[in-house]
Amino acid sequence: DTAVSQTPKYLVTQMGNDKSIKCEQNLGHDTMYWYKQDSKKFLKIMFSYNNKELIINETVPNRFSPKSPDKAHLNLHINSLELGDSAVYFCASSHQTGPNTGELFFGEGSRLTVL
C-alpha cells in the first residue's frame, strides 16, 4: 500500500489551461504539504495544511489554490498555467504531535510540463 500517493504522475498541457493534482495519504498524519522542485532542483515548500486548515502559505501566485477536503487529502489546483509552472510537484505528510522533527513522507511526485 502506497503511503502518500499523487495523481497524475505526468501531466503535459498548454499554457493558459487549468489543471489539478491530487494527493492522498493513508498514514493517519494530520499535516500535509505541497513542495515544488524546479529545474534547478530546488525543493521549496508551497503550502501546508493541518487538519484541513491552511497553516503555511509561501509566496505563491494566487493562480495556485490548495484544497483539503479532509486530513487525508490535499489537492492542488493551478489556473492559467504558465511556462514557469513546469516543475515536479511533491506532496508530503507528517505527524504533527510531539516535537517538531521535520520528518516528512513524500509522494512520488507529479511532473508538470507546460508547453
Partner 1 sequence: DQQVKQNSPSLSVQEGRISILNCDYTNSMFDYFLWYKKYPAEGPTFLISISSIKDKNEDGRFTVFLNKSAKHLSLHIVPSQPGDSAVYFCAASLSGGYQKVTFGTGTKLQVIP
Q: Using CB under 8 A as the criterion, which residues of the chain lie in contact with partner 1 when the complex forms?
A: 4, 31, 35, 40-45, 48, 50, 55-56, 90, 92, 94, 96, 99-109
Kind of pairing, strands 31-37 and 10-13?
unpaired
Q: How far is the CB of 15 from partner 1 (least distance, A)?
A: 25
SS3 at position 35: strand
Q: How far is the CB of 103 from partner 1 (least distance, A)?
A: 5
The nearer residue to partner 1, 14 or 40, going by C-beta atoms, is: 40
Per DSSP, what are the bridge partners of residue 23?
6
**Which string of DSSP letters, residue by residue, matches 4-26?**
EEEE-SEEEE-TT--EEEEEEE-
The nearer residue to partner 1, 72 or 108, going by C-beta atoms, is: 108
